[in-house]
Copies of this chain bind each other. A is one copy, B any other.
Amino acid sequence: VSDTAENARPSDNVHVALGERSYTIRIVSRAASQFGSFARLSLDRSWAGRGCKRGLVVTDRNVRPIAESLAGSLAAVGISSDLAVLEPGEETKSLRSAQVLWDRLVDLRADRHTVIVAVGGGVVGDLAGFVAATYARGLPLLMAPTSLLAQVDSSVGGKVGINLPEVKNILGAFHQPSGVWIDTEMLETLPPRQFHCGLAEVVKYGVILDEPFFEELERAEPEILAMDPAWLRRIVARSCELKAFVVERDELETSGLRAALNFGHTIGHAIEAVAGYGGAYNHGEAVSIGMVAETRIAERLGWIDAGVRRRIELLLGRFGLPTAAPELESEPLLEAMTRDKKNRAGTIRFVLPRRLGHVELTDVVTPDLIRLVLDAQ
């Protein structure tokens, strides 16, 4: 195979076109010292960011060194910052943590020209973004996602939020960042399981929107698993482009298009809820199992054939992801799906593939069919 990352033409900049709220995602490898000039450029394009001189860098204990190096790069362009270091883990995405950060901003006498810089995975990005969205009716926000999952998913699209004890992501806002900085170097220190977790979402983009990209992932699997920098930039950039494509057309999740991103998530969220957050499966693993189960539903409906289903299952497996959770009972999973905030008025909605690269939103799936597929795992 002659495919290399070079002729796959990795895009270093992904532009997210949202009118006045447009921004750039820059994807680099080992370039922390250039963060400052990217930050300056990104901030200067907006009213609140222009001339911004102060910031609060929010991070967690695991990636604190990365945050400190980015803060150093900010200082070099005249943005002085304080550092807020949180405990890693989903429990941090709480109202209590938000309160700590809000109080910190009050202490700093932050105003609408104080930038919030989120350096970390999805938890840090969602929480810091929510704090940025709500303090003084919106502070400028820069994201530096450090996990593959955050790089290809939560850093694009402006969804920010925190959990209440009973419900995940139930408090939130749409708050677009001024810029997103992705350095693939950050992935090198991740535990492999975290890296695989992000690959689940990468595979998802291929299935829902881009058959050639899916095929590219099939061919380049060894290079990707070896964390070749050029290939990492390629898969991150293509994933961001595909997510940006969707978000640009349905920023506020009102047209139904953005729902395509939920492929694998209807069952995936239920698995997380039933197995417990921070339990047997992390988000990407739950989504991987969810994608396989939902693909099986599509197969039962006659939407796709067994060959496509097998390719999806095979690729996820090669990427170190689980494809079934036979120990989970179907009844509690069904119950969790009914409780999900996306399932209006009792119907369970699914996004299912019609072919590779194309999905459709449907509510024809009956509880019996869901049970059948889950029980057959």
Query: A109 to B339, Cβ gap below 8 A?
Result: yes
Report A122-174 residues with CB < 8 Å from chain B CB: 133-138, 159, 161, 164, 166-167, 170-174
- Knowing A134-B171, A170-B136, the reply to whether A164 touches B106 (Cβ < 8 A) is yes
Report how far A145 CA is from B105 CA in the complex, Å: 31
| Cα–Cα distance between A185 and B365 once the two chains are bound (Å) | 51
| Interface pick from A34-42, A95-103, A367-375 | A95-103
**CB closest residue in chain B, given A170:** B136
Partner of A164, one of B47, B102, B174: B102
Q: Given A99-B95, A159-B137, are A170 and B344 also a contact pair (CB < 8 Å)?
A: no
A228 to B106, CA, bound (A): 45
List residues of chain B with CB within 8 A of the CB of A173: 133-134, 137-138, 173
Known: A95-B99, A102-B171, A254-B47. A341 touches B111 (CB 8 A): yes
Contact B341 A174 (CB under 8 A): no
Tell me whether A309 is interfacial, beta carbon within 8 Å.
no
User: Considering only CB atoms and an 8 Å cut-off, how many residues of chain A contact the other chain?
Assistant: 34
Whole-angstrom CA separation of A99 from B161 in the bound complex: 15
Q: Which residues of B contact A172 (CB under 8 A)?
A: 134, 136-137
CB distance from A248 to the nearest CB of B (A): 15
A190 in the interface (beta carbon within 8 A) = no
The closest CB in chain B to the CB of A48 belongs to: B254
Instruction: Give min CB distance, A366 to chain B, whole Å.
Output: 21
Residues in B neighbouring A171, C-beta threshold 8 A: 102, 134-135
User: Please, how many angstroms separate the alpha-carbon atoms of A138 and B174 in the complex?
Assistant: 9
Docked-complex contact B103 and A164, CB < 8 angstroms: yes
Question: Of all chain B residues, which has the CB nearest A95?
Answer: B99
In the complex, how many angstroms separate the beta carbon of A334 from the nearest chain B beta carbon?
A: 16
Is A113 in contact with chain B by the CB < 8 A criterion?
yes
Residues of chain B within 8 A of A341, CB atoms compared: 111-112, 136
* CA of A99 to CA of B165, assembled, Å: 11
The interface residues of chain B lying within 8 Å CB-to-CB of A252 are: 137-138
Q: How far is the CA of A344 from the CA of B254 in the complex (A)?
A: 37
Beta-carbon contact of B174 and A137 below 8 Å: yes
0 or 1 for each of A248-266: is its CB under 8 Å from B? (1 = yes): 0000111000000000000
Q: Give Cα distance in the complex from A17 to B365, angstroms.
A: 41
Bound form: Cα–Cα A161–B135 in Å: 9
Q: Write out the residue numbers on chain B whose beta carbons fall within 8 Å of the beta carbon of A174.
A: 137-138
State how many angstroms separate the Cβ of A185 from the closest Cβ of chain B: 32
- The docked-state distance in angstroms from the alpha carbon of A95 to that of B99 is 9
Q: Which residues from B are CB-within-8-Å of A342?
A: 111
A99-B95, A102-B164, A164-B102 are known contacts. Are A170 and B109 too (CB-CB below 8 A)? Answer: no
Chain B residue nearest to A47 in the complex (CB): B254
Which 10 pairs of residues, A with B, have the shortest CB-CB distance? A47-B254, A137-B172, A134-B171, A111-B341, A106-B166, A106-B167, A136-B341, A137-B173, A111-B344, A137-B174
What are 12 A-B contacts with C-beta separation under 8 Å?
A48-B254, A95-B99, A103-B164, A111-B341, A113-B344, A134-B134, A134-B172, A134-B173, A135-B170, A137-B172, A138-B173, A138-B252
Beyond A134-B172, A138-B252, 15 additional pairs, beta carbon < 8 A: A48-B254, A95-B99, A102-B171, A106-B166, A109-B339, A111-B341, A111-B342, A113-B344, A133-B173, A134-B134, A134-B171, A137-B161, A137-B172, A137-B253, A138-B173
